[in-house]
C-alpha cells in the first residue's frame, strides 16, 4: 500500500506542477479579469482532497471489492458536498470573482477527477490480477 501511495503522490505532484505551469502561461496571455486570484489555492485544495480520497480508497481496496465500491461511492459523495460547499461559500463572499472562480473550479474538478479515476482503474486492475 505504501509504495502505491508514494507513486500516486509523486504522480499527482508532477501533474499539479504541469497544470500550474499551464495556468501561469495562461495568466500572462489572458486578461487579468479571466483568471481568479485564488487559483493557486485551488490547486492545493484539489491536490489535498484527491490525496486524502486516494489514501482512504487504497486502504479499502485490500478488503472485499464490495467494501471498496462502497468506500468509493461514499468518498465521491463527501467530496462533492465539500466541493459544492466551497463553491457556494466563495461565490457568496466574492461575487465579483464568481464567474472566473467557478470556471477555474470546474476545469480543475474535471482534471483532478479524471486523474484519480484513471489511477483507481489501474489499481483495481492490478488488484484483480493479484487475486
pLDDT tens across 91-114, in order?
999 999 999 999 999 999 999 999
d(CA 9, CA 6) in angstroms, rounded, equals 5
Q: Which domain holds residue 112?
A: 2-130
d(CA 116, CA 119) in angstroms, rounded, equals 5
Q: Residue 128 pLDDT > 70, yes or no? A: no
Q: Grid coordinates 486523474 are at which residue? A: 115
pLDDT value of residue 58:
86
77-107 as b/e: b if 16+ CB within 10 A: eebeeebeeebeebeeeeeebeebbeebbee
In the chain, the number of structural domains is 1
Q: For residue range 8-44, list pLDDT tens digits in order.
A: 999 999 999 999 999 999 988 888 888 899 999 999 9
Amino acid at each position: 500500500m505504501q509504495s502505491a501511495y508514494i507513486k500516486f503522490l509523486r504522480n499527482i505532484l508532477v501533474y499539479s506542477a504541469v497544470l500550474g505551469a499551464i495556468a501561469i502561461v495562461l495568466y500572462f496571455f489572458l486578461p487579468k479579469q479571466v483568471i481568479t486570484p485564488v487559483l493557486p489555492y485551488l490547486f492545493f485544495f484539489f491536490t489535498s482532497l484527491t490525496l486524502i480520497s486516494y489514501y482512504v480508497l487504497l486502504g479499502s481496496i485490500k478488503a472485499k471489492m464490495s467494501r471498496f465500491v462502497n468506500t468509493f461511492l461514499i468518498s465521491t459523495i463527501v467530496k462533492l458536498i465539500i466541493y459544492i460547499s466551497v463553491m457556494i461559500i466563495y461565490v457568496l463572499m466574492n461575487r465579483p470573482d464568481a464567474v472566473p472562480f467557478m470556471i477555474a473550479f470546474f476545469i480543475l474538478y474535471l482534471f483532478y477527477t479524471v486523474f484519480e479515476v484513471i489511477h483507481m482503474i489501474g489499481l483495481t486492475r492490478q488488484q484483480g490480477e493479484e487475486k
